[in-house]
Amino acid sequence: MQARNNTSAALAALALMLAPALSQAADAGLPAIAAFQQAPAKAPDTTVATKADTKAARPASEDALRETDVWGRIRSGYAIPDLDNPLVAKHITWYSSRPDYMARTTARASRYLFHVVTELEKRGMPTELALLPFIESAFNPQALSSANAAGMWQFVPGTGRDFNLKQNVFKDERRGIVASTDAALTYLQRLYDMFGDWQLALAAYNWGEGSVQKAIQRNRALGKPTDFESLSELMPAETRNYVPKLQAVKNIIANPGQYGLTLPLIDNQPYFTAVDKTSDIDLTIAAHLAELSVDEFKALNPQFNRPVITGGEHTKILLPQENAEKFHLNLAQWGRALSTWTTHKITSARERIETLASKFHTTPEVIRQANNIPQKTVLKAGSTILVPKLATSANVDIAPEVADNAIVALEADRGVKRGRGYKAARRHSDDDDDAPVKLVKAHVSRYQHKSRHRNED
User: Which class for 366: exposed (0-12), middle (13-18), buried (19 or more C-beta within 10 A)?
Assistant: buried
**CB of 457 closer than 8 Å to CB of 101:** yes
Q: Which of 136, 173, 325, 351 is catalytic?
A: 136
Q: Compute the half-sphere exposure of residue 200: CA atoms within 13 Å on the CB side of its CA.
A: 26
Give all strands (DSSP E) within 247-356, no chain letters: 272-276, 281-282, 308-309, 316-320, 341-345
Residue 37 forms beta bridges with which residues?
A: 273
The stretches of 269-387 forming alpha helices (DSSP H) are 283-289, 294-300, 321-332, 353-359, 364-371
The stretches of 28-68 forming alpha helices (DSSP H) are 62-66
Tell me, what DSSP letter sits at residue 452? Answer: B
**CB of 290 closer than 8 Å to CB of 297:** yes
Query: Distance between CA atoms of 301 and 425, rounded to whole angstroms?
Result: 33
DSSP 119-178: HHHHHT--GGGGGHHHHHTTT-TTBB-TT--BTTTTB-HHHHHHTT--BSSSBBTTS-HH
CA angle (17 as vertex; 12, 18 as ends), nearest 5: 95
Between the CA of residue 333 and those of 289, 319, 328, 329, 436, what are the distances in Å?
10, 19, 9, 7, 22
**CB of 145 closer than 8 Å to CB of 138:** no
- Catalytic annotation present for 136: yes
295-299 contacts at long range (C-beta below 8 A, 24 or more positions apart):
298/142, 298/449, 299/108, 299/111, 299/141
**CB of 282 closer than 8 Å to CB of 338:** yes
Tell me, what DSSP letter sits at residue 399? Answer: P
DSSP 220-234: HHTT---SHHHHGGG
- Nearest-CA neighbor of 131 among 259, 250, 271? 250
Query: Distance between CA atoms of 188 and 3, rounded to whole angstroms?
Result: 11
Catalytic residue IDs: 136
